[in-house]
Amino acid sequence: MLSRKSVPSSNGKTLPPSNQVDSQIQEQTPPPDNFSSMKPCSHIKSVLESKAKDNVFITYRQAVYIAQSISKDNIYTQKKDGAVVSNNKLVELKSKSLRCTECSLNNFHHNFICLQCPHVGCCSHHNHAYVHYKMNQHLFAIDSHNGLLYCFLCGDYINDPELEKIRIGMSNSSGYRSLDEEETEANYDNPTSKAVSGLKGFINLGSTCFMSCILQTLIHNPIIKYQFFNNDLHYFNCEHNYDYITNGAITEENACITCSIDNIFKNFFTSDDTEGFGMTNLLMTSWFKKKSLAGSQEQDAHEFWQFLLNEFHQDYHRVSKEKFDHDHCKCITHSTFSGQLESSIICSECNSTTKTTDPMIDLSLEIDHMKKTDHSLNLYDCLDLFTKEEKLDVMYKCQHCDNRSRAKKSLRIKKIPPVLSIQLKRFKHNLHNDTFSKIEIPIDIPLFLNITKYTSASISPELDGDKIFELFALVCHIGSVNTGHYIVIIKNGNGQWLKFDDSVISLISQEEVVKANAYLLFYITHKI
C-alpha cells in the first residue's frame, strides 16, 4: 500500500498524498460549459489510435451512462420505451458497478473507473485508483461523480473530440440506453453478485443482542472490512487457527477472537445465504477468553466492544511478534480507532499552561447533567460539556511557579482517528444503594459531525478535511437496565438506513436516525 506521503510519478512530478487527491481533483473539475474547450492530451490520443480504440469507447460510454444517471437532476428517468426508472434503481446500479474492486468502498469515498480495464478504484483513504495506475500503467480513469476523464500522467482532467461526442450525445438523449447483460458482464467486475453488502442479521442465542449489534458495526465499517479482506497475515500465521483447523474444535488454548470474526466476515460477504447467522463460534471463543461473558445474562454492548478491540490488539502482536509502539501500532484497533486527547492545565497563579497527551480509543460523554435547557439537546451539547474548562477539585502544584492553586483543566482532541467512536453515558451507578439506573434524556444525533471546535490548536490546518465525520452506525438500548434489548442502525452502501433487530432487518427513515435514543455512535472521517 502507498504511504500517505507524496509519491513521485513516472514523469518526475511529485504526486499529492492520497488524502489530498480528492479535494484537488474537485478543484480542477471544470464547469460543464467549459468542458468541450479543454485540450486533448497526447496520452489519450495515442491510445485511441491503437487497436484498443473500440474497447475504450465501450467502457467510456458505459461509465458516462452510470455517472450521469445518478446525477441529482435525474430523480426519475424514462427509458426509450416510455417506462419510468426510479432513482433507487439507478443508485442500486451504481452501488454494484462502482464499488472499489480492492476494498469494496462506495458510499464514503470517491471512486474512479479505469478506462482500460474493468477496475474500479477509490480515490480517498486507500487511494486504490492511484495504486492501480502505478501497478498497471493504466493512465486514464473516469470520475464516477460526473463522467469526466482524468489522466494520471497529466495530473488533470482531459478531453478528446471523439469521447466528447459520446458524452454530449448521452447528455442530450431523452432516455438512457439500456446496455445488454452480456456487455455489462464483459466490462465490469461485480463484487456484490453473491452477497449484497454483507446484509445479514444474527440469530439471538440467548441474550446475545449486545454481541450482534457490535458485530454489525464492525462488519459495516469499511476500514475494518478492508483489513480483514486484504491482510492474510493473521489467518495464515495464527497457531491457534492452525490448531482449530487440525482438531476441529474450539478450546481454551486455541480460542482466537480475530479468527472467529474473520470467519464471520467471509461468511457474510461470500455466501449466497441471507438467513440469520448463528455466531456459535464467536460465542464459545468469547466465553473462553472472558469468563464473565459466559451464560445467558445480558451484557453491556460498550464493554463487549472494548473487549473485542483489546483482543484484536493482543492477537495482532501475538502473531506478528512486533514490539508494541502505541503511536505506530498496525493492529485493527489502533489503525481504525486510535486518537489522542490533549489535557491542558492552566495555573491560576502564573497563567502558565501544562499540556499532556493521552491515548484515546473512544469518547465517553456525560448526559446526566444536561437536563436544564431551553432547546432540544444534541451531540454538540455533549461535546461542549466534555471540552468545557473546569476547576480541579484538588490543589494543583504548578511546575512553572511552584505554587499550589485551584487550576483549570480542559480537554481537546489532538490526534484524529479514522473512525470516531462515542459512548453516551446512559447507565448510572447509584453509590448510595449500589444500583444502576438508565438515563433516558433524548439527544439529537447529527448525520455529519464537525469536530473542528473540539480539536487542539496544534493540529495542522491541512487536516481540516479530517475533522468532518459521517455517521454510519449507532447502537440503541431499549427498555430498562435489567430487562433491556439492543438494536443497531446501519447506513448501507446505497445511503439507506437499516435497523438490525437480531435477525430481523428493516428500513428506517433518516428522521428516525436523528431522533434515535442512541447509546453508541460510530462516525467515519469524511474527506472533502
Last residue of a domain, one of 320, 354, 388: 320
Confirm whether 466 is domain-assigned: yes
Per-residue exposure over 354-372, b if at least 16 CB sit within 10 Å of its own CB, e if not: eeeeeebbbbebebeebee
Q: Please identify every residue annotated as catalytic.
A: 209, 485
Mean pLDDT calculated for residue range 130-143: 85
For residue 206, the model assigns a pLDDT of 85
Spatial neighbors of 103 by CB under 8 A, at least 6 apart, are 122, 126, 128, 222, 225, 226, 229, 230
- 375 within domain boundaries: yes
Same domain, 88 and 218: no
Residues 224, 371 within the same domain:
no
Q: Do 12 and 147 share a structural domain?
A: yes
Predicted confidence band of residue 289 (pLDDT cuts 50, 70, 90): very high
CATH number at residue 411: 3.90.70.10
C-alpha grid cell, residue 107: 458510499
Residue at 370 is within a domain: yes
Give the C-alpha separation, 283 to 285, whole Å: 5
Residues composing the chain = 528
The answer to whether residues 505 and 379 belong to one domain is: yes
Residue pointed to by grid coordinates 498496525: 330
Based on the fold, state whether residues 315 and 410 are members of the same structural domain. no
Burial class from Cβ neighbours inside 10 Å (0-12, 13-18, 19+) for residue 321 reads exposed
Has this prediction a pTM greater than 0.85?
no
Shared domain check, 160 and 297:
no
Kindly state whether residue 487 falls inside one of the protein's structural domains. yes
The answer to which of 261-265, 409-413, 431-435, 516-520 has the lowest mean pLDDT is 431-435
171 lies in the same domain as 222: no
* Same domain assignment for residues 240 and 168: no
CATH number for the domain spanning 63: value is: 3.30.40.10
Pairing status of strand 111-114 against strand 120-122: antiparallel
pLDDT at 432 over 70: yes
How far is the C-alpha of 116 from the C-alpha of 57, rounded, in Å? 10
Residue 164 sits in the same domain as residue 231: no
| Pair (118, 43) in one structural domain | yes
Contact 477, 519 (CB under 8 A): yes
Within a domain: 65: yes
Could you give the CA distance from residue 367 to residue 385 in angstroms, rounded to a whole number? 9
Per the DSSP assignment, residues forming a β-bridge with 346 are: 353, 408
Q: Which of 289, 320, 351 is the last residue of a domain?
A: 320
Domain that holds residue 400: 338-525
Average pLDDT for the chain: 77
Task: Write out pLDDT tens, residues 88-125.
Answer: 555 555 555 566 776 666 544 468 888 877 778 887 65
Q: Is residue 457 part of a domain?
A: yes
In a domain, 11, yes or no: yes
Q: Which of 388, 526, 404, 519 minimizes the C-alpha distance to 465?
A: 526
Query: What per-residue confidence (pLDDT) applies to 472?
Result: 95
Number of domains in the chain: 3
CA distance 481 to 288: 26
288, 320, 352: which is the final residue of a domain?
320
The cell numbers describing 83, all together, are: 417506462
> Count of CB atoms within 10 A of residue 106's CB?
26
User: What is d(CA 191, CA 181) in angstroms, rounded to the nearest whole number?
Assistant: 16
In three-state secondary structure terms, 513 is: helix
Q: Which three cell numbers stand for residue 411?
A: 480537554
Q: Is residue 388 part of a domain?
A: yes
- Residue 351: its pLDDT value, please? 86
